[in-house]
Chains A and B, each alone.
Chain A
């Protein structure tokens, strides 16, 4: 706390000081100027304030050299704007009011677009949203109990396939890592992004829990069921594949499938 004693300034001095600037500039009436001049003769504090104001006023007349680059820029701007103005005047002369011209042209363009859409619009239904497609895919997979059992079984080496399920031509499932969580068990809301591929048979999602992960489903063109799913994690060395799920098409063969680690393929033992 500053305990230094300061001499209080009189209210009259404060009011005089607030007018000293105008006093110096001659912006006060004659009567007020006389009153202030008398006070200044008597008051040391106000005289010092006057000196300080005079010192500040003396700074006004300093001259600064204008850089040549500024002059060039202003001249360039001037000529550019003048050229634009000339073009506008010419347009106005030849085409009438430019604003009216803009309105007419934009209305004509809008009408043409509307007519074009009405005539050439495709008759197919609008594309489903990614989220709707995601849900439809999930429903299609999980509605088939046999297939759902196959999918959710954490089998590594092979899976027994029922003959009835084989008629669906989509049978073999394997994982390259155990305990992989089946992504379709997640709710679509758990993904921060769901994107469609251009061919509409690819869905690419980013889970909210791990923004660095990319999950991808490729739908088979005929069956619209997942053909493969891969999950990658970005590590300092690059993208590392963590899990792999694949659907192989096996036509009309029933039996028990076993995984051959050497060839990396499934062997079918017919019944």
Chain B
């Protein structure tokens, strides 16, 4: 069947990325496997409806995010722990465990934005489409996530004044690319 064949190609090319994204979200191998499997199951079910408006990768990331939000709604997920940090650090190139811990401690929206843009290498526009927010919001979330991580790792670098921050956010919200 043509669909199955192309779906097989999709899994072969994107399976690793989706699993890595799930691993970074869940911080647990078993949950990540479940999430990735559910993502591909949903993708296979809706493969005929996929119109190609977004790239297949973006489409898969958006499915994974929706599934992840459903999981979080069903149960309280405890992310930060020694095992979780080890698991996630293996999926990144850096070896600084403090950075991994800081990423896991990010607020959920900032973490999703950071993992898509910085972790998975999507453009801001692609990540915005996957999350379902305007591109400007995605710029803002990624920037906030980076600032938070920087302030966690280098407290002396955090010198933002509240009024400056407000001015920055205002500027970002109206500034076109």
Chain A residues whose C-beta falls within 8 Å of the C-beta of B165 in the assembled complex: 14
Minimal beta-carbon separation of A254 from chain B (angstroms): 72
Could you list 21 A-B pairs, sorted by A, with CB under 8 Å? A6-B159, A14-B167, A17-B147, A18-B172, A21-B142, A22-B124, A27-B123, A27-B124, A28-B177, A49-B150, A52-B146, A52-B154, A60-B118, A61-B121, A64-B16, A66-B15, A74-B15, A74-B40, A77-B37, A77-B41, A78-B44
Q: Which B-chain residue is minimally distant from A67 (CB atoms)?
A: B33
Contact A11 B164 (CB under 8 A): yes
Contact B93 A59 (CB under 8 A): yes
Contact A70 B15 (CB under 8 A): yes
Number of A-B contacts (CB under 8 A): 121
B141-155 near A? 1/0 per residue, CB < 8 Å: 011001101100010
Q: Which A-chain residue is minimally distant from B121 (CB atoms)?
A: A60
* Interchain CA distance A82-B120 in the complex, whole Å: 31
Within 8 Å by CB of B15, from A49, A55, A71, lies: A71
A208 at the interface (CB under 8 A from B): no
Contact A73 B146 (CB under 8 A): no
Given known A-B contacts A9-B160, A56-B118, A61-B93, A14 and B11 have beta carbons under 8 A apart? no
Chain B residues whose C-beta falls within 8 Å of the C-beta of A61 in the assembled complex: 93, 121
A63 at the interface (CB under 8 A from B): yes
Contact B11 A59 (CB under 8 A): no
B53 at the interface (CB under 8 A from A): no
Chain A binding surface, main DSSP class = helix
A29 at the interface (CB under 8 A from B): yes
Contact B142 A82 (CB under 8 A): no
Contact B40 A77 (CB under 8 A): yes
Within 8 Å by CB of A81, from B8, B45, B121, lies: B45
Q: By CB atoms of chain B within 10 A, which of A8, A9, A14, A52 has the most?
A: A14
Within 8 Å by CB of B94, from A9, A28, A59, A63, lies: A59
Contact A53 B16 (CB under 8 A): no
Given known A-B contacts A11-B167, A18-B168, A25 and B123 have beta carbons under 8 A apart? yes
B55 at the interface (CB under 8 A from A): no
Contact B164 A62 (CB under 8 A): no
Interface residues on chain B, size class: 35 or more
Interface residues on chain A, size class: 35 or more
Q: Which B-chain residue is minimally distant from A70 (CB atoms)?
A: B33
Minimal beta-carbon separation of B87 from chain A (angstroms): 10
B20-37 near A? 1/0 per residue, CB < 8 Å: 100100000100010011
* Interchain CA distance A132-B19 in the complex, whole Å: 62
Chain B residues whose C-beta falls within 8 Å of the C-beta of A60 in the assembled complex: 118-121
* Interchain CA distance A16-B73 in the complex, whole Å: 37
Chain B residues whose C-beta falls within 8 Å of the C-beta of A97 in the assembled complex: none
Q: Told that A8-B161, A64-B90 touch, could you supply 5 new A-B pairs with CB distance under 8 A?
A: A6-B159, A8-B164, A21-B117, A22-B139, A45-B157
Chain A residues whose C-beta falls within 8 Å of the C-beta of B33 in the assembled complex: 67, 69-70, 73
Minimal beta-carbon separation of A3 from chain B (angstroms): 14
Minimal beta-carbon separation of A199 from chain B (angstroms): 44
* Interchain CA distance A18-B165 in the complex, whole Å: 10
Chain B residues whose C-beta falls within 8 Å of the C-beta of A77 in the assembled complex: 37, 40-41, 44
Q: Which A-chain residue is minimally distant from B117 (CB atoms)?
A: A21
Minimal beta-carbon separation of B3 from chain A (angstroms): 9
* Interchain CA distance A27-B94 in the complex, whole Å: 25
Q: Which A-chain residue is minimally distant from B142 (CB atoms)?
A: A21
Chain B residues whose C-beta falls within 8 Å of the C-beta of A78 in the assembled complex: 4, 7-8, 44
Minimal beta-carbon separation of A31 from chain B (angstroms): 12
* Interchain CA distance A60-B123 in the complex, whole Å: 12
* Interchain CA distance A59-B139 in the complex, whole Å: 19
Q: Which of A1-50 contact B (CB under 8 A)?
A: 6-9, 11, 14-15, 17-18, 21-22, 25, 27-29, 45, 48-49
* Interchain CA distance A66-B36 in the complex, whole Å: 10
